[in-house]
Amino acid sequence: MYIQLNIETKFEINSLADLAGFKKIMEQLKMKINKSKLARDLGVDRRTIENI
């Protein structure tokens, strides 16, 4: 069996605009993010992260 994964290995989130790409990566890897920590790091409300 041969599996090829095209995964961006370096991904930095500096703003809310970066979350769309990050969300795609997390969905592909079936991972969940810590929305509260991410919201604290970005200085936004946790519910803002949930809605992106």
| pLDDT score recorded for residue 23 | 81
24 occurs within a structural domain:
yes
Q: What pLDDT shows up at residue 8?
A: 64
Q: How many Å apart are CA 5 and CA 3, to the nearest integer?
A: 7
Place of tokens 């509260």: 36
- Tally of domains within the chain: 1
For residue range 8-36, list pLDDT tens digits in order: 667 788 888 888 888 888 888 787 878 88
Whether residue 46 lies inside any domain: the answer is yes
Q: Is residue 44 part of a domain?
A: yes
User: How many angstroms from the chain centroid is the CA of residue 50?
Assistant: 11
Cα(32)–Cα(27) distance, rounded to whole angstroms? 8
What's the pLDDT band for 4 if we cut at 50, 70, 90? Answer: confident
**Range of the structural domain that residue 36 is part of:** 16-50
The C-alpha angle with vertex 22 and arms to 17 and 26, in degrees rounded to 5, equals: 155
pLDDT for the residue 18: 84
Residue 33 domain-assigned (yes or no): yes
pLDDT value for 1: 59
Length, in residues, of the chain: 52
